[in-house]
Amino acid sequence: MKKYFSIIAALALFFAPVGCSDKPAEPTDPDDNGNEQTEDLSGADILSFKIVNGDESIEAAISSFEKRVVIVYLPEQAPLLLGAVAEVTLSKGATISPDPTKPMDYDVDNAFTVTSGDGSTIRTYVVGSEEAKVVNNVVKGWSKTYKSLGIADQIFDQGQSQIGWCDLDKFVTHEGSVFDLQGNKLGSLNTEGISSEWGLISLANDDKGRFIATFGTGSKDRNMVDTNNAGAIYIWADGWNAKPTMLYEFTEDEVPGYPQYYWGPSDCASLSASGDYAGDLVVTTLHFGDVAIEGIPTGLHNVMLFKNGKISERRVFDSRQRLGDGNWIQMISPASGSLDGPFVIGDSNTVGVGYGVFVRMEFEDLADDYALIGGVEDIPGWDPEASYPGLYGWGNYSVGHVKAFNWFTTPAVIVTSTYWEGTFLTILPLDEELAPIHSTEVVSNIHEVRISSAYVFNPADQTGYIVINVGFNSGEVILYKLSRTAI
């Protein structure tokens, strides 16, 4: 059963009899004085009320004074209100109508009549629902330098994604070291079966914490991606210390829909993933950073859909967003394991202008992209020579990273970006109408660096975990916890 916040304390429940009865009260054993006792069947109250829909349930709050039952639900629980049955506890001998064991919609008010067992009391309860107000909590756990973690300073410059989860409570850094949630080193990533000529380039993970990475040429002797590098995508389906499985090896097959371009072996950079390797998994990598389609500068990205561990479909994502000459490697990140879900595009503007973040709600709809936020060039009176953290803190240096994810049922994005004096973290829903999950915060004084993040959600404690890799030289790793409180 899926776990949710406990909004009220659980009560002992049982199905109450439904219908009316004229049967007189049964006598009970005499009391200590020898007087015969009769059960009190005059009560007509709802003592507990819980709706059930499939394997999910929501406990309601009851006001006996107002004769009202309120089902307080979390936003993602709204579908449970439709076609639900109820488990109800009543006063001794009481009956209820209509029959709550029959499916009903609880997104509207429903009136229930409770009749006491002796027929002397009849009460009407109104059962309604109310969405709970929730507060998002983003708390910094710790920040540790590369030196204190015992990891190499030099990150792979254009791998773009330089950190990833390898379990719900373990992560991998840019050079293959594995750490727990406290930042204790556990060992090194198992690379059995991967060519010794290849090095670790980009890191990611699926929603269950299975580590995914690209290995290829170009990362052994220099920290820049070789534009002609060979490589492959691997997944550690059985844990970080087990032998990995190759998901896909890059070849020179033509790009679907763009016969003038080739997939080529230059695809190891800008890795992102969402979904479940055991179900539907979407993996994206960069194909070409600088191309023009119909005269419009754009970036092309490989998008691969895996079903139950096998590749099912591959497409090319034509971003039509090419902002400038900043960090050179554009990033796209899927929010789910569906090709029909939203994608986030992260790209540099010209150096000194800032980092841009765009959203495409449907894979093919190029015209429907919208800017979640752009750089600082549109701010009246902005002085490019002045030290300024950028519009809403996106940064004016130009380098950044996006990680799309689902915060319960809300598609959102983690944006890390850098500016002249430090590094930013911002967490936003993809719906522009919704408030930020976490307003911009300066998370590091290290600046003008490659920066990336990774996310995993642990259902056991209802907590999302974010690790941020800030680095180039003398970098650091930062852990954040993302949780909710119902109020």
Q: Tell me the pairing of strands 231-236 and 211-216.
A: antiparallel
Nearest to 200 by CA among 167, 131, 262, 154: 154
Report whether 155 contacts 174 (CB < 8 A).
Answer: yes
User: Any idea which of 36-40, 223-227, 428-432, 445-449 has the lowest mean pLDDT?
Assistant: 223-227
Tokens found for residue 55: 């394997």
- The average pLDDT across 7-12 equals 33
Cα 82 to Cα 77, 127, 274, distances in angstroms: 10, 14, 29
Structure confidence at residue 221 (pLDDT) = 47
User: Is 77 strand, coil or helix?
Assistant: helix
Instruction: Using the predicted structure, report yes or no on whether residue 17 has a pLDDT greater than 60.
Output: no
Of the ranges 13-27, 294-308, 437-451, which is most confident?
294-308
What is the share, in percent, of the chain residues with pLDDT greater than 90?
Answer: 53
Instruction: Using the predicted structure, report yes or no on whether residue 15 has a pLDDT greater than 70.
Output: no
Tell me the pTM: 0.80
User: Is 147 strand, coil or helix?
Assistant: helix
Report whether 437 contacts 427 (CB < 8 A).
Answer: yes
- The average pLDDT across 214-224 equals 62
Structure confidence at residue 383 (pLDDT) = 44
Distance CA 354, CA 415 (A): 13
pLDDT digits (tens, 9 = 90+) for 379-425: 344 344 444 444 334 455 567 899 999 999 899 999 988 776 678 88
pLDDT digits (tens, 9 = 90+) for 100-126: 999 999 999 999 999 999 999 999 999
Pick 449 or 352 by higher pLDDT: 449
Q: Helices H, strands E: what count in the chain?
A: 1, 34
Contact residues for 227 (Cβ-Cβ < 8 A; gap 6+): 266
Instruction: Using the predicted structure, report yes or no on whether residue 266 has a pLDDT greater than 60.
Output: no
Structure confidence at residue 259 (pLDDT) = 79
Distance CA 481, CA 466 (A): 6
Report whether 86 contacts 49 (CB < 8 A).
Answer: yes
Indicate the average pLDDT of the chain. 82
- The average pLDDT across 188-201 equals 91
pLDDT-derived band at 76, boundaries 50, 70, 90 = confident
Report whether 472 contacts 160 (CB < 8 A).
Answer: no
- The average pLDDT across 170-194 equals 96
Angle at 256 between CA 253 and CA 258, to 5 degrees: 95
Structure confidence at residue 286 (pLDDT) = 85
Task: Give the sign of the dihedral formed by CA 363, CA 366, CA 367, CA 372.
Answer: positive
What are the E-state strand segments in 146-295?
Answer: 163-167, 170-173, 177-180, 185-188, 199-205, 211-216, 231-236, 245-249, 254-255, 258-262, 272-275, 280-293
User: Is 75 strand, coil or helix?
Assistant: helix
Distance CA 60, CA 233 (A): 48
Structure confidence at residue 446 (pLDDT) = 81
Structure confidence at residue 381 (pLDDT) = 42
Instruction: Using the predicted structure, report yes or no on whether residue 325 has a pLDDT greater than 80.
Output: no
Of the ranges 160-164, 195-199, 228-232, 261-265, which is most confident?
160-164
Structure confidence at residue 263 (pLDDT) = 61
- The average pLDDT across 44-56 equals 96
- The average pLDDT across 429-454 equals 86
Distance CA 239, CA 139 (A): 27
C-alpha dihedral over 116, 117, 120, 126, to 10 degrees? Answer: 10
Distance CA 231, CA 437 (A): 37
- The average pLDDT across 171-180 equals 95
Nearest to 45 by CA among 157, 162, 124, 102: 124
Report whether 448 contacts 399 (CB < 8 A).
Answer: yes
| DSSP line for 388-415 | ---GGG--SS--EEEEEEEETTEEEEEE
Nearest to 114 by CA among 93, 129, 128: 93
Structure confidence at residue 476 (pLDDT) = 94
pLDDT digits (tens, 9 = 90+) for 267-314: 778 899 999 999 999 999 988 777 788 887 788 888 999 999 999 999
Q: How many CB atoms lie within 10 A of CB 216?
A: 29
Contact residues for 397 (Cβ-Cβ < 8 A; gap 6+): 351, 352, 354, 417, 418, 419, 420, 447, 448
Task: Give the sign of the dihedral formed by CA 324, CA 439, CA 318, CA 162.
Answer: positive
